[in-house]
Amino acid sequence: MMEVRNAPPDIDQILVGAIDGERLTGDEICCLLNLQERSDFEKLFEAAREIRKKHFGDRIFLYGFIYFSTYCRNDCTFCFYRRSNKVSERYRKTTEEILDTAGKLSESGVHLLDLTMGEDPQYFTDNRFAGLLETVAAVKKDTGMPIMISPGVIPEEVLLAFRQIGVEWYACYQETHNRELYARLRLGQSYEERMQRKKYAREIGFLVEEGLLSGVGESAEDLLDSFKVMAELQADQLRVMSFIPQKGTPLENMETGSHLREMLIIAVMRLLFPDRLIPGSLDVDGIAGLKERLHAGANVVTSIIPPQKGFLGVSQSTLDIDEGTRTVAGVVPVLEECGLVPAGIDDYRCWMAETLMKRHNPDNAPGANK
Ligand code: SAM
Ligand code: MD0
Ligand code: SF4
């Protein structure tokens, strides 16, 4: 009997289809994730940039990052700030310090402030979130800026209270949607509860960010599953960051492979979720790594941190911060080299408003190709 085999997918054809708004099949997505030739990567990145241009023109959004508490009750194996790491720096910033930094960041021209913490036991014990809510409300009042919170899995009623004081975004990254891999990364944390909190956040009117780690042993099939979950969740912002091994943690000596994989994933996400926000983070390769992330189709620069203030990053806790290049002034020349410009704050507010409006029209669901 003759063996019947499907011809391997043709990459030019896949990319033309994606640009035309056709939905990619699982085989096509895996084919893109497994590309090996530099010339093929370039074709993929070019298609991703074309799709970005169609939806966002040459405008890029910029996010300020405020890691206000590095205490954490969790023990994620990939994270420098896991509770059992003796070598990580711990601090909890005061309201004044947070307000000062929030003010500096907004004056510098960012479009959003991302307020991030470890799951700091001080807030979680006896549900003492009231003080934090006041601080965040003060940031909102002082700066008038769009705000994202990245507090981990907080109780539903606290999340609702953040929404009620006008916080627009909830960021919470699953890292992977392979449950076995999740269990090795987020030790002792419920997969379901973490996913459920994002669904709840969306229901109460938050914009939601989901995120992946790359270089932690995930397969192309795992990524395919993640894209499905991200589409079901209808996440508004989707990120991937290469895993950076951290001193003093169980994965300190893990071989992680090239960060090029992150660029491939960024580009594939751009094809699958053409009108969503996809960050290129300065928290992985610093300012030197920004160009390649923009080149792959990212449209948000995240982890902008003011120098000399004693605030840290997450996976690159100090890289480029006190040098002052992890700033709007450091980012703009890189945008220019790529033929891009910072968006206006009104562009950002419009994007948020339109995205929330589209939710009521299923034809416009995120990931629905147009
Ligand atoms: N504690 C909250 C949480 O975990 O949801 C908020 C912190 S959030 C900014 C931490 C995120 O940074 C993780 O979800 C992970 O995606 C990323 N991250 C942490 N350590 C990392 C590392 N070593 N390499 C790359 N990304 C890392
Ligand atoms: C970043 N270091 O943007 C930040 C952080 C949390 N919402 C974001 C991982 O890369
Ligand atoms: Fe804590 Fe977040 Fe780090 Fe996990 S990733 S240890 S929850 S700060």
Residue 11 in any domain: the answer is no
State pLDDT tens for residues 17-76: 999 999 999 999 999 999 999 999 999 999 999 999 999 999 999 999 999 999 999 999
Residue 172 in any domain: the answer is yes
Region for residue 166 given its phi and psi (left: phi exceeds 0; alpha: psi -120 to 50; beta: otherwise): left
Check residue 6 and give its pLDDT.
64
State which ligand 2 atom lies nearest to the alpha carbon of 282: 10
From the CB of 209, is ligand 1 less than 6 Å away? no
314 has pLDDT over 80: yes
In whole angstroms, give the CA distance from residue 233 to residue 199. Answer: 7
365 has pLDDT over 90: no
Residues with CB under 6 A from ligand 2: 65, 114, 116, 150, 171, 281, 283, 302-303, 313-314
Which range of residues forms the domain containing residue 30? 24-360
Residue 8 in any domain: the answer is no
How many domains is the chain partitioned into structurally? 1
- If you take atom 8 of ligand 3, which residue's CA is the nearest one? 118
The CA–CA distances, whole Å, from 285 to 28, 109, 224, 235, 303 equal: 29, 22, 25, 25, 11
In whole angstroms, give the CA distance from residue 105 to residue 92. Answer: 19
Pair type for strands 147-150 and 237-242 = unpaired
Check residue 9 and give its pLDDT.
78
**Full-prediction pTM beyond 0.85?**
yes
Residues 6+ apart with CB under 8 A from 320: 282, 286, 287, 326, 330
From the CB of 60, is ligand 1 less than 6 Å away? no
- If you take atom 1 of ligand 2, which residue's CA is the nearest one? 303
- If you take atom 2 of ligand 3, which residue's CA is the nearest one? 118
340 has pLDDT over 70: yes
State which ligand 3 atom lies nearest to the alpha carbon of 70: 8
**Length of the chain in terms of residues written:** 370
pLDDT band at 4 (very low <50, low <70, confident <90, very high): low
State pLDDT tens for residues 143-175: 999 999 999 999 999 999 999 999 999 999 999
Within 204-327, where are the H helices? 220-233, 260-272, 282-285, 290-295
Residue 133 in any domain: the answer is yes
What stretches of 22-171 adopt beta strand conformation (E)? 59-69, 112-117, 147-150, 169-171
Q: Which helix (H) or strand (E) holds 212?
A: strand 207-214
Residue 114 in any domain: the answer is yes
Ligand 3 center–CA 12 separation, angstroms: 40
- If you take atom 1 of ligand 1, which residue's CA is the nearest one? 118
- Judged by its nearest atom, the ligand closest to the C-alpha of residue 290 is 2
Ligand 1 center–CA 322 separation, angstroms: 21
Q: Is the dihedral of CA 282, 286, 290, 296 positive or negative?
A: negative
Nearest Cα neighbor of 285 from 250, 309, 320, 255 is 320
What are the residues facing 207 on neighbouring strands?
169
State pLDDT tens for residues 347-356: 999 999 999 9
From the CB of 154, is ligand 1 less than 6 Å away? no
Residue 13 in any domain: the answer is no
Q: Is the dihedral of CA 255, 256, 259, 265 positive or negative?
A: positive
250 has pLDDT over 50: yes
In whole angstroms, give the CA distance from residue 42 to residue 6. Answer: 25
Check residue 127 and give its pLDDT.
81
Helix axis angle, 130-143 relative to 95-108, nearest 10°? 30
The CATH number given to whatever domain includes residue 73 is 3.20.20.70
Average pLDDT on 87-116 reads 97
State which ligand 3 atom lies nearest to the alpha carbon of 82: 6
Check residue 1 and give its pLDDT.
47
370 has pLDDT over 60: no
User: Judging by beta carbons within 10 Å of its beta carbon (0-12, 13-18, 19+), is residue 216 exposed, middle or buried?
Assistant: buried
Residue 10 in any domain: the answer is no
Check residue 118 and give its pLDDT.
98
125 has pLDDT over 50: yes
The CA–CA distances, whole Å, from 86 to 72, 81, 89, 125, 151 equal: 12, 9, 8, 22, 22
Residues 6+ apart with CB under 8 A from 259: 215, 242, 284, 285, 289
Asked if 323 and 89 count as a contact pair (C-beta separation under 8 A), the reply is: no
Residue 216's Cα: distance from chain center in Å? 17
Average pLDDT on 211-222 reads 97
Residue 3 in any domain: the answer is no
State pLDDT tens for residues 230-241: 999 999 999 999
